[in-house]
Structure 1
């Protein structure tokens, strides 16, 4: 029956695409996306198991979890970023934020609350996502970003400056040590 329906839809020019299944992480989870999403690979927050997330008064009924290789499999884009007070610019690699959100089945018109390990949260509106090509960096060069090196993930976008030097406003929108996103 499914094959017949698919053939009819194909012949009429309509496209039938079921929700994509998101694999379960095979190693340590470095990013969790909760809230309004279609492609969850885990259920609701469990207060004892998810003590760190729970301790920051976060919750979700379902989520998409990603390990480093799952994020890398989405493609590694490159962006060079620097700031006046930094000892050097960074050559960051990671998937595009929109590709990560697409893998989780997040709507393009959703607002995303991005939370760092210290609890700082920054909201990214659909307009902000459209204005910049956000990269969820997981590497500095070929080295994984670790906790203490702005990892496990660092959300940035290419600065307007051709040399990658960020203005204070741009640098203020980048969230380092990202571990959680909530889709609103």
Structure 2
């Protein structure tokens, strides 16, 4: 009887990983909060979520993404350049719209926040109509923290109403947080 129980336990342990949803390994690099339907983590924790606390951002629900999670989404490669840049660059990563779909965003505005607190906001309709990329690589090389990464919100000129060819102010590097404002 004991052998049968051990054999069943061994079989269950082998099958258990097949039944659990796959979760990418690695640190969380991007957290989406606000008006979202899909979540995979709990609310703001003052001890663990130090940067959020420092920037006075709290939340009740969130969706946390690793670089592997971002890589699992459909990827978009786009060449962007602005008149005040030395030349165009080619970046790749998932579109911001794909991340909004993943989390079930229900709001009307999206705020994209960098580690320094810089946080441009955009209408979700403009994001869905344009080419807003959450770039994780440039020229085929991963973006690094201390450079523009690990996640850089990048998009071509003319991606939102009123943006000019030399206005790169909405591009946010070292993005760690996306907040969806509730719809009107």
Alignment of 1:94-105 (within 5 A): 94-105=93-104
Q: Deviations over 1:156-176 (max 9, x none)?
A: 22335xxxxx7223x122111
**Is contact 1:25–1:65 with CA below 8 Å preserved after alignment?**
no
**Is contact 1:24–1:41 with CA below 8 Å preserved after alignment?**
no
**Is contact 1:23–1:41 with CA below 8 Å preserved after alignment?**
no
Question: Cα gap change, 1:91/1:78 in structure 2, threshold over 3 Å: closer, same or farther?
Answer: same
Residue 143 of structure 1: CA displacement?
A: 1.2
Residue among 126, 140, 159 paired with 1:128: 126
Gapped runs of 5+ residues in structure 2? Answer: 1-20, 159-163
Q: Which residue of 1 aligns with 2:171?
A: 174
Alignment of 1:60-99 (within 5 A): 60-99=59-98
Residue 79 of structure 1: CA displacement?
A: 0.8
* DSSP 3-state at the match of 1:176: coil
Q: Deviations over 1:90-123 (max 9, x none)?
A: 210000111111111112x521111111101111
User: Structure 2: how far apart are the matches of 1:83 and 1:119?
Assistant: 23
User: Structure 1: how far apart are the matches of 2:22 and 2:48?
Assistant: 20
Gapped runs of 5+ residues in structure 1? Answer: 1-21, 161-165
* DSSP 3-state at the match of 1:168: coil
* DSSP 3-state at the match of 1:52: helix
Q: Which runs of 4+ in 1 moved over 6 A?
A: none
**Is contact 1:31–1:66 with CA below 8 Å preserved after alignment?**
yes
* DSSP 3-state at the match of 1:175: coil
* DSSP 3-state at the match of 2:120: strand
* DSSP 3-state at the match of 1:121: coil
Name whichever of 58-67 and 132-141 sits farther off.
Answer: 132-141
TM-score (structure 2 length as normaliser): 0.78
CA RMSD, aligned part only? Answer: 2.0
Figure out how many residues of one structure are paired with residues of the other and give that number.
157
Matched, 1:111 2:96: no
User: Structure 2: how far apart are the matches of 1:136 and 1:28?
Assistant: 17
Name whichever of 132-141 and 77-86 sits farther off.
Answer: 77-86
**Is contact 1:138–1:144 with CA below 8 Å preserved after alignment?**
yes
Residue 51 of structure 1: CA displacement?
A: 0.6
